[in-house]
A and B are shown apart, each in its own frame.
Chain A
């Protein structure tokens, strides 16, 4: 089946350190989306990447889409306590459905 693998499952960082989460698919994606879910909340859309090799930035967040459109990463520079939550990638394989990764839960040590 169409699966999206995401690592790591958990990440604990000191406030101010960087954080990265990675997603991989065995087949080519039409696009990939990233969502953030705060503790007790619901997933909220962050960004969508469509083009091969695309890089997008949102303040301290940098999103990349691989050249083969099979992998993606989210990098947060100088984490803050407001970054706490679970980050999900979600891949679209050209149909109506998104396939979500298992998520990376980020906790910040003040």
Chain B
């Protein structure tokens, strides 16, 4: 049981390049989330999904797209990377319902855009 995994762990992009971050969870969770973490700003929600085939915007969605084609995977895409997107990206998942709505986080992807 790996929990939440993220690929890649590190990446350096040039301005204008595109890339996709992959998040996978093996806990059969319905809800999945993408956050970015910047110094002094905590965790800010980019996009989220409440189930396979659904996505919704979070607090800072501009410049990002997401897809949830399979329940266990949640992809975050950057079509044209900008230096302002340099950040650490965390994926999280949680079960729907239950006694607690704990979010389980992946190890993170450190992205640098030059």
Contacts and interface: CB of A to CB of B under 8 A. Distances in A.
A63 interface: no
Interface residues of A, number: 23
Interface of B: 31, 33, 35, 40-45, 48, 50, 56, 58-59, 90, 92, 100-108
Contact of A98 (B40, B50, B103, B108): B103
Interface string A30-52: 01010100000111110010000
25 contacts: A1-B59, A6-B42, A9-B40, A33-B103, A41-B107, A42-B106, A42-B107, A42-B108, A43-B43, A43-B92, A43-B103, A45-B102, A45-B103, A48-B100, A48-B101, A88-B43, A90-B103, A96-B31, A97-B33, A97-B58, A99-B45, A100-B42, A100-B43, A100-B44, A101-B42
Given A42-B107, A90-B43, 10 more contacts: A6-B42, A31-B101, A33-B103, A35-B103, A43-B92, A43-B105, A96-B31, A97-B58, A102-B42, A103-B42
Interface in A84-110: 88, 90, 92, 96-103
A22 to B, nearest CB: 14
A42 B103 contact: no
